[in-house]
């Protein structure tokens, strides 16, 4: 069995659990929005009366949460957090697991180069990330309605760019320093995520948005503001490419026996 299929099979339970969790999260979120709309409650009024710090934790308070797409956009930051955590974990885990599990000798005995090993593993990780994104997309459209499909697709494209970026971060860290890759990757992710929230709280530090990918493709930027910024798209793809290059380089140079 080739490495790509082997990795897909090895991660099948994981992607099922993550996908089911995402579906449940979206269902609960949109059910709450539906219940509030039917009861006549106005979350928009509630948000307007909340402190700025609470608004930031709830997506910035920039949307009309009485509408399905507005409420979805508010919770979207947490959907992104979930998908990027999955991405960085699978990126780190899929590269480092043979070394951590002490099964590298089995892999090295295969008549394949390290380049092919990394390529197959990254392709399998990419497939898992894509599946997770598509599950999120389909669930979102079903629950929000096809009339908002354009906005949802835009949000999912932004999410996917962040997923492949954090996938590459996890893989790079695993190739460079296997044992602590997952922890380091998750730490970087959480620091940049909370930085994006702090930026929403404090107006005069908006220039720091370039330090956190979570501000590149947030719902407010994609739906209310100018949409995709070509510079930030290229920056994301550039960082992903550089990290992927060094993943191959470091993995090829590693002594997997130590």
Q: Which two tokens stand for residue 119?
A: 């390529």
Angle among Cα 181, 186, 187 to the nearest 5 degrees reads 100
C-alpha count within 13 angstroms, C-beta hemisphere, residue 116: 8
Q: Which residue has the tokens 């993550």?
A: 18
Least Cα distance to 176 among 77, 83, 80, 96 occurs for 96
Phi, psi of 68 (to 5 degrees): -60, -45
Least Cα distance to 127 among 245, 239, 6, 232 occurs for 6
Q: Where are the alpha helices (DSSP H) in the chain?
A: 3-10, 12-39, 43-48, 52-57, 68-101, 104-108, 114-144, 149-176, 181-201, 219, 230-253
Q: Which two tokens stand for residue 219?
A: 């719902």
What distance in Å separates the CA atoms of residue 254 and residue 258, rounded to the nearest whole number? 9
Give me the count of residues in the chain.
258
As to burial, measured by CB atoms within 10 angstroms (0-12 exposed, 13-18 middle, 19+ buried), residue 255 is exposed
Per-residue pLDDT at 133? 98
Per-residue pLDDT at 172? 96
Domain ranges of the chain: 3-253
Each of the 258 residues of the chain gets a pLDDT tens digit; together they read 588 998 999 999 999 999 999 999 999 988 877 776 665 555 556 655 666 566 566 665 567 777 888 889 888 999 999 999 999 999 999 998 867 665 555 566 666 788 888 999 999 999 999 999 999 999 999 999 888 899 999 999 999 999 999 999 999 999 987 778 999 999 999 999 999 888 888 877 878 888 999 999 988 889 888 789 999 999 999 999 999 999 999 988 876 554
DSSP string, 92-154: HHHHHHHHHHT-HHHHHTSSS-HHHHHHHHHHHHHHHHHHHHHHHHHHHHHHH-GGGHHHHHH
């Amino acid at each position: 069995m080739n490495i790509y299929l082997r990795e897909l099979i090895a991660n099948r339970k994981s992607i099922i659990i993550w996908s089911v969790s995402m579906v449940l999260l979206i269902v609960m979120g949109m059910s709450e929005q539906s219940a509030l709309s039917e009861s006549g409650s106005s979350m928009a009024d509630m948000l307007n009366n909340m402190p700025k710090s609470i608004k930031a934790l709830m997506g910035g308070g920039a949307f009309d949460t009485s509408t399905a797409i507005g409420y979805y956009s508010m919770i979207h930051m947490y959907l992104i957090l979930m998908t990027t955590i999955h991405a960085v974990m699978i990126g780190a885990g899929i590269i480092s697991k043979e070394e951590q599990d002490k099964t590298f000798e089995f892999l090295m005995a295969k008549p394949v180069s390290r380049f092919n090993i990394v390529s197959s593993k990254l392709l399998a990780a990419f497939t898992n990330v894509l599946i997770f994104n598509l599950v999120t997309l389909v669930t979102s459209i079903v629950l929000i309605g096809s009339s908002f499909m354009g906005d949802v697709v835009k949000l999912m494209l932004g999410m996917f760019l962040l997923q492949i970026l954090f996938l590459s971060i996890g893989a790079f860290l695993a190739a460079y320093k296997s044992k602590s890759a997952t922890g380091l990757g998750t730490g970087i992710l959480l620091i940049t995520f909370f930085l994006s929230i702090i930026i929403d709280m404090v107006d005069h530090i908006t220039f720091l948005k370039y330090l956190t990918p979570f501000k590149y493709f947030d719902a407010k930027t994609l739906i209310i503001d100018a949409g995709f910024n070509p510079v930030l798209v290229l920056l994301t793809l550039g960082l992903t490419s550089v990290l992927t290059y060094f993943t191959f380089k470091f993995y090829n140079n590693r002594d997997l026996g130590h």
